[in-house]
Structure 1
């Protein structure tokens, strides 16, 4: 890791809480980062260390890991991806669905202090391209806290839904929309075998099936190269969960879920026509919720919701699973 550096938000006119916010960069070992990350409720995939290991080489960027301090207390974590060319004249900076706050932190003053510290270290200048996607729900208070930032019209507010996995199986079922429950019951009455793979044995067949299904149906989603990169990093710690529904040795549906801290993200999946006929995907996700809970995962991020074009049907399915819909602020420069 790089030597630690400290940047603070200490400006005239700030509140006491804002004055106490500092970001200490690259001071934690990977194990120390992961230990802190594991304490955060609803941690995001894009702020996980394994995500940076997978994505940074593809984008020709490097990771930067920040420990956010309020005075002497650790307040949160922020993972950036950055890169530069021509001796730093041109540079890129990405903060994707962060920062993440420890319990008791993340007040509006904390956010303003963090953003001030970021602006101080990474000010707007010619040649620097910033992309900030903040893990902030879209509401009036948060819009006020970010009104000094320049909105990026190419980054509309991210939408997803979070499923609370601490509930028991019957509560998870009852929280689902009626038509989803009916399809789930239909799937349960079909003799489907659910296979769980934490070693990547079915990865190749999943990727081939996913690529063909995505090309045929035209829905948005991560490309095969990215999913393969995720697999290489997440499989090391058995944090990639592949589950498939099989009937008479025929694979009807597969889901691909990434585990990060005490949260997980539904990243991709595909279903055959025969699988849709028996609602195999419904059964897979319900079984996955229980499997994740058994592995200490408390929250499932359903992986983004888009209601346009070919994604509309997928969005309707996700919204029917009983999660808490969330819309975050648009992105910023």
Structure 2
């Protein structure tokens, strides 16, 4: 049966599906403020929505129009795998007709060496830390790693003042400035501060800060995209690290998100080789290491490469796309 994807103005993800940040309308609108165009598509049968996809498009010099489908489509949980694979293939084919290149990262990797219709893998799969918030708060606390739980108890005994607000549309906000300086000093890549401000204009945020006598000691920013939320950025001063302020703020965020009815908190990608301490901190919350799919590319010439690769796979001379490992 053919699956028909149609453009829509107001995306309504399938009932019961999880929703990664990259597939939420607030993400599309925020990226739109940075020069991208968000396209929302849906696959419906009667009154039922079986799948939705948020695609970002951008015109690049020399290359032309490029489409990015990241961590989508979002499927209705009871959609048969064979049907979702057919729908995926038709969506990628349609995107290929209107774009010079298509980049595609599925939500999960099935481990099979499937080459998606003329697409070639350009980046191996990764893991994201995801904390399920459905359990009772007492169960979540019991699930903390012992060292994580001990630091939390120490921070709670300090009596740190914690404030909870939303992120204001202020380019000079102290947390954005402090985190930008931290990123420059440590040399890590992240979305620009303008992205967080754009999200705050059309979406929900949760900003928690630990206050000292001389100003902020630590802060974290959570982006909310029901039924999930994403830990977006954080900063801690040397004094805040000594008091384990970051640990306290993340636990307070977990408490507040549960009150909001959020079902899962994503803590970002895991990299145990370059940032082992950060990965250990994320997993210490009790979060699971959830696999994502590899990133695939479709562009002029990749069809030929994909055909050669398929022949190589059959002959056993081309390695399969790397599967996610426990190390992320």
- Range class of TM-score, shorter chain: 0.7 to 0.9
Say if 2:117 is the partner of 1:151.
no
Deviation string for 1:236-265 (max 9, x for gaps)?
44x111101123243111001100121100
Distance 1:233 1:178 in 2: 35
Report what 1:331 is aligned to: 295
Give the alignment of 1:289-308 within 5 angstroms. Answer: 289-308=254-273
Aligned to 1:135: 107
1:37 maps to 2:9:
no
Change (3 A) 1:275 1:118: same
Taking only aligned residues, the RMSD between alpha carbons, in angstroms, comes to 2.6
The yes-or-no answer on 1:94 pairing with 2:68 is yes
Q: 1:87-114, CA deviations, whole angstroms, 9 ceiling, x for partnerless residues?
A: x982201101111112322x32133112
Q: Which residue of 2 aligns with 1:73?
A: 48
Q: Summarize the alignment of residues 1-333 of structure 1 with structure 2, pairs less than 5 Å apart.
A: 19-26=1-8, 29-30=9-10, 33=11, 36-37=12-13, 39-58=15-34, 60-70=35-45, 73-84=48-59, 90-105=64-79, 107-123=80-96, 128-136=100-108, 138-140=109-111, 143=112, 148=117, 150-153=119-122, 155-200=123-168, 204-218=173-187, 220-223=188-191, 226-237=192-203, 239-309=204-274, 311-333=275-297
Q: What is the alpha-carbon distance in structure 2 between the residues aligned to residue 38 and residue 139 of structure 1?
A: 21
Cα offset for 1:268? 0.7
CA contact (8 A) 1:38 1:261 kept: no
Q: Secondary structure at the match of 2:173?
A: helix
TM-score normalised by length of structure 1: 0.80
Task: Supply the distance in 1 between the matched residues of 2:291 and 2:92 (Cα, whole angstroms).
Answer: 25
Match of 1:3 in 2: none
Shift of 1:120: 3.0
Mapped to 2, the partners of 1:42 and 1:103 lie a distance apart of 9
Residue 297 of structure 1: CA displacement?
1.1
Number of matched pairs: 296
Report the Cα offset of residue 119 of structure 1.
3.6
Structure 2 SS opposite 1:103: coil
CA contact 1:76–1:101 (8 Å) conserved in 2: yes
- Judge conservation of contact 1:21–1:71 (CA < 8 Å) in 2: no
Aligned 8 A contact 2:125 2:294 in 1:
yes
Point out where structure 1 has 5 or more consecutive residues left out of the alignment.
1-18
Could you say if the C-alpha distance between residues 318 and 25 of structure 1 is closer, same or farther in structure 2, counting changes exceeding 3 Å?
same
Contact kept? 1:165, 1:290, Cα under 8 Å: no
